[in-house]
A and B are shown apart, each in its own frame.
Chain A
Amino acid sequence: MSGPAIATSGLTKRFGSLTAVDSLDLVVRRGEVFGYLGPNGAGKTTTIRLLLDFIRPTSGRAEVLGGSGADPAIRRQVGYLPASLDVDPRWCARDLLSFYGELRGGRDLAWERALLERFDLDPARPVGQLSSGNRRKVGIVQAVAHRPPLLVLDEPTSGLDPLLQHEFQLLVRDLVADGATVFLSSHVLPEVEALADRVAILRRGVLVALATVDELRRSARTRIDLRLAEPPAAADLAAFAGLAEVSATDATIHLVVEGPVDPVLKAAARLTVQAIATHDADLEDVFLTYYQGETSGRGESSGRGDGAGRGEETGR
């Protein structure tokens, strides 16, 4: 078990004039949870389909667990949760698990039973009769039924209620604790933020950011409110010039800081501050920034402003 779980180099896929994935260089290390983020149509599912050899690259190459995604020996070690699990609607979970189990060459019945119980699934109900959430659960169960070393999950928790999302996260953590690698594609941040170590952000087929969740947080804007004893004078506000945003309502100064918050502390030292409220680094903002195409170097941050903006509520 050496080498990366997934490695792509110059991976490109064009459909006619559309470049769905453009010169993608990606390395997913063994044992990590890798978040693969991007708006709908960014090329996330195309990437996954390239990895699993459902489609062939226009140029470049992709390696999965050191081999080809077309190789049955490699696929045996991959658990794939498609964005929508399309199987014969007359199949029930039991049919699906026995069929796939046979193809995979062996089943762990106790583990399968535990999974079905964990997600409260009736193994005898035809998939076609299930709600979309329950179908999602069947998808999750079939993806992990053979305890694969690599999980490829496409929008895993869409359609799941918060309780089940939580259960799913626990399951993924269990599997990762046992050494599994997870490639987690999603268009919403919270799904990835809760699990991922590193995050890649894809936009129109191009990788626009690759960072740890912490790095993203660090580069995020922090909102800080300073509650003063009395409304600030204009000169007081001027001391904060240079920050991203400065405003005041009554005796409270609202600040938005990019990067380290040190300038705020220096400037605030002259004031009579009764309370400081910092709001959690708004990762969603960073994320939306990438989505909207402002790729002005944020997110590629390498260790500037250590620990800045780790939101803690203080002084209340």
Chain B
Amino acid sequence: MTIALRMIRDRHRSTGGWLVGVVALVLFTIALYPSVKGQVEVEELMRNLPDAFRGMIGYDAAVPLTSPPGYLHARMFSTLAPLLFVVFGIGAGAQAIGGLEESGRLEPLLANPVTRSRVAGERCLAAVVLLVALVVVFAGATFGLAAAFDALAGVRLSGLLGACAAAWALALLHLALAYAVGAATGRRGPAVAAAAAVAVGGYLVYSLLALVEALAPLRYLTPWYWYLQRNMLVHGVPAGAVVAPVALSVLLFVAGWALFLRRDLR
């Protein structure tokens, strides 16, 4: 585990920044909740918004926006949290091999008594662990601060944990894609570009398909639908929201690993 630990240590400073940032964002978001709590107008406003917009912010008619689960879902779980996790995941996944190789730092490492397979495996593991750390801190901060600001009423703990797991899985999928492209090309740019394109494209498709009823079955093609299809804090987590991205991620990891073993380094 020397290589994985080294990668985690090398990224501990930037990861620390992310952790502080995530906690701060959770704090700002939840600290605003008491001022939203009693506002009936917000609910009025929501009803008058176009469907597409309501879909984008994860509005659910059965869960008032001014209730804790409605608020947390709209302000964090349907927007900020997955976005942050996905961005972090893409960064970590692209760096694992593509970034390391592009900066010339892979060859000195591989001159040591280690196999490529081990380097690829350990750095993949390190990237995943870093993402887990980010999500765990987010989950802890959300739970703790929501309790402190009286924003837990109506939130199922299993739903909260499940939503965090699903957000992690969504980010993991993008991490795995960035990892695989980086492992296949030995470059960071294409890895970030491919994963970011899938993230943005997937989100666009999700929002657009929410408008057109006839195309509804196609929604299953975008990972954002798996994640955003319902308010998990209230309704629980559909198994597919975790299982599908994780399964796809495993496929991507294996593909990236296999391509990396076969090719020339840059």
A103 interface hit (Cβ, 8 Å): yes
B97-138 to A contact mask, C-beta < 8 Å, 1/0: 000000111011011111110000000000000000000000
Give 1 or 0 for each of B44-65: 1 = CB within 8 Å of chain A CB. 0000000000000000000000
Does A88 make an interface contact (CB < 8 A)?
yes
For the residues of B in contact with A, the DSSP-based class is: loop
Interface pair B108/A85, CB less than 8 Å apart: yes
Chain B residues contacting A75 (CB-CB under 8 Å) are: 111-114
**What sequence of 0s and 1s flags, for each residue 224-248 of chain B, a beta carbon within 8 Å of any chain A beta carbon?**
0000000000000000000000000
Given contacts A52-B110, A72-B114, A75-B112, contact A103 B3 (CB under 8 A): yes
Q: Is the CB of A86 within 8 A of B105?
A: yes
Report how far A215 CA is from B116 CA in the complex, Å: 41
Which one of B107, B113, B264, B265 lies within 8 Å of A76 (CB-CB)? B113
B35 lies within 8 A of chain A by Cβ: no
Min CB distance A182 to B, Å, is 16
Question: What is the minimal beta-carbon distance from B215 to any residue of chain A, in angstroms?
Answer: 44
Q: Do the beta carbons of A73 and B113 come within 8 Å of each other?
A: yes
Task: For the complex formed, measure the closest distance between the CB of B106 and the CB atoms of chain A, giving whole angstroms.
Answer: 9
Beta-carbon contact of B10 and A88 below 8 Å: yes
**Total count of chain A residues near the partner, CB < 8 A:** 27
Residues of A50-89 whose CB lies within 8 A of B: 52-56, 70, 72-73, 75-76, 78, 80, 82, 84-88
Proximity string of chain B (1-43) to chain A, C-beta cutoff 8 Å, 1 when within and 0 when not? 0110010001000000000000000000000000000000000
Q: How far is the CB of A230 from chain B (nearest CB, A)?
A: 65
Chain B residues, CB < 8 A from A85: 108
In the bound complex, CA of A105 to CA of B113 (Å): 9
- Report whether B2 and A82 are in contact in the complex, using a CB–CB cutoff of 8 Å: no
Q: Is the CB–CB distance between B115 and A72 below 8 Å?
A: yes
Which residues from A are CB-within-8-Å of B6? 99
Bound-complex Cα distance A102 to B2 (A):
7
Inter-chain contact A49/B108, CB cutoff 8 Å: no
Docked pose: A200 CA to B114 CA in angstroms: 30
Residues of A contacting B116 in the complex (Cβ-Cβ under 8 angstroms): 70
Number of interface residues of B (CB under 8 A): 18
A118 adjacent to chain B (CB < 8 Å) = no
A interface secondary structure, majority: loop
The answer to whether A100 has its CB under 8 Å from any CB of chain B is yes
A105 to chain B, nearest CB (A): 7
* Contact of A90 with B by CB under 8 A: yes
A107 at interface by CB-CB < 8 Å: no
Once the chains are docked, how many angstroms separate the CA of A75 from the CA of B114? 8
A229 to B115, CA, bound (A): 72
Residues of B within 8 A of A104 (CB): 112-113
Shortest A131–chain B CB gap in Å is 18
Instruction: Tell me which residues across on chain A come within 8 A of B3, comparing CB atoms.
Output: 103
Q: Please state if A88 and B113 are interface contacts (CB–CB under 8 Å).
A: no
Chain B residue with the shortest CB-CB distance to A50: B264
Measured in the bound complex, the distance between the Cα atoms of B107 and A54 in whole Å is: 7
Complex Cα spacing A6 to B166, Å: 52
Q: Name which residue of chain A comes closest to B118, CB basis.
A: A72
B113 lies within 8 A of A55 (CB): no
A100's partner among B10, B105, B112 (CB-CB below 8 A) is B112
Cα(A82)–Cα(B110), bound, Å: 12
- Closest B residue by C-beta to A72: B113
Cα–Cα, bound, A84→B103 (Å)? 11
Which residues of the other chain, B, contact A54 by a CB distance below 8 angstroms? 107, 110, 264-265
Closest to B115 in A: A72
| B10 to A, closest residue via Cβ | A88
In the complex, how many angstroms separate the beta carbon of A164 from the nearest chain B beta carbon? 21
Give CA–CA (A99, B5) in the complex, Å: 10
Q: Could you tell me the distance in whole angstroms from the C-beta of B45 to the nearest C-beta in chain A?
A: 49
> Which chain B residues border A55 with CB–CB below 8 Å?
264-265
Closest partner residue, chain A, to B262 (CB atom): A56
Q: B202: shortest Cβ distance to chain A, in Å?
A: 33
Contact assessment for A103 and B265 in the assembled complex, using a CB-CB cutoff below 8 Å: no
A191 to B91, CA, bound (A): 42
Q: Give Cα A54 to B105, complex, Å.
A: 12
- Chain B residues whose C-beta falls within 8 Å of the C-beta of A53 in the assembled complex: 110
Given the known interface contacts A54-B264, A55-B264, A88-B10, the answer about A103 and B112 at a Cβ–Cβ threshold of 8 Å is: yes
CA distance A120 to B25 in the complex (A): 48
Which residues of A lie under 8 Å from residue B114 when comparing CB positions? 72, 75, 103
Q: Contacts of A82 on B, CB cut-off 8 Å?
A: 107-108, 111
B264 proximity list for chain A (CB < 8 A): 54-56
29 residue pairs of the A-B complex, CB under 8 angstroms, read A52-B110, A52-B111, A53-B110, A54-B107, A54-B264, A55-B265, A56-B264, A72-B113, A72-B115, A75-B111, A75-B112, A75-B113, A78-B111, A80-B108, A80-B111, A82-B108, A85-B108, A86-B103, A86-B104, A86-B105, A87-B108, A88-B10, A88-B105, A90-B10, A103-B3, A103-B112, A103-B113, A104-B112, A104-B113
